[in-house]
Amino acid sequence: VGGPDGRNVDLPAALSGVVDIVGEPYPVYRLFLIAAGVAVALGTWAFLMRTRAGLLIRATAQNPTMTHALGLDVRLIRRGVFGVACGLAALGGVLATPLLTAFLGMGTIVVIDAFVIVMIGGMGPFIGTVVGSLLVGISQTFGNFYFPDYALGATYALMILVLLIRPGGLF
C-alpha cells in the first residue's frame, strides 16, 4: 500500500470543473481549497478562543509553570496540541495531494514557508498567523506571475522588510 514512490491522486469528480469569476475561468477545486482554508482557520480560532480546552492550551503556551501549579497536566495538553497539529498537517497534505504528487517528504516543502509565516505574523495572537500566511501567499503569487525567476526572493524580501520595521513580527 505504501512505499517510497510518489503517488498521484485524481481530483474528485464533483470538484473537477471550472467556474467563471468576473469573466475568467477558475478551477472549482481551488475554490474548495479556499473555502476549506477559511473553515479550518475559523474553526481553529473558535476552538482556541471559545472553548475551555483552548483556554488551557493558551495558558500552557503562556506560562506552563503556573498552569502546572494549578494542577493541570501540561505534558498531556502539549501532547494533545501536537496530535491536533499532526491532524491538521495531514488534512493539508490530503487537500494538496490532487495538485501535487504525494511523497514521503512532502511536508518538508512547507517548513520554510511556515517559518516565514511565523516570522512575519509574529509569535503572538492567532491573527498574526492568518495575516502572515495571506501575505506570504500573495507575495508568492505575485512573484510567480511577474518575476518567476525571483519568486522565492519576493517572500524573503517581504519577511526582511517586516522584520526591519517590526522585529517581533506584525502581531
**Spatial contact of 170 and 131, defined as CB atoms under 8 Å apart:** yes
**Spatial contact of 96 and 3, defined as CB atoms under 8 Å apart:** no
Confidence of residue 4 (pLDDT cuts 50, 70, 90): confident
**Spatial contact of 156 and 163, defined as CB atoms under 8 Å apart:** no
pLDDT at 154: 87
pLDDT at 117: 93
Does the pLDDT at position 108 exceed 90?
no
C-alpha cell at 20: 467563471
pLDDT at 1: 64
**Spatial contact of 38 and 31, defined as CB atoms under 8 Å apart:** no
Does the pLDDT at position 2 exceed 80?
no
Q: 74-78, 106-110, 114-118: which has the minimum mean pLDDT?
A: 106-110
pLDDT at 133: 93
Q: pLDDT by residue (tens digit) across 119-161?
A: 999 887 889 999 999 999 999 988 898 988 888 888 899 999 9
Residue type, 53: A
Does the pLDDT at position 34 exceed 90?
yes
Q: pLDDT by residue (tens digit) across 46-97?
A: 999 999 999 999 999 999 999 999 999 999 999 999 999 999 999 998 999 8
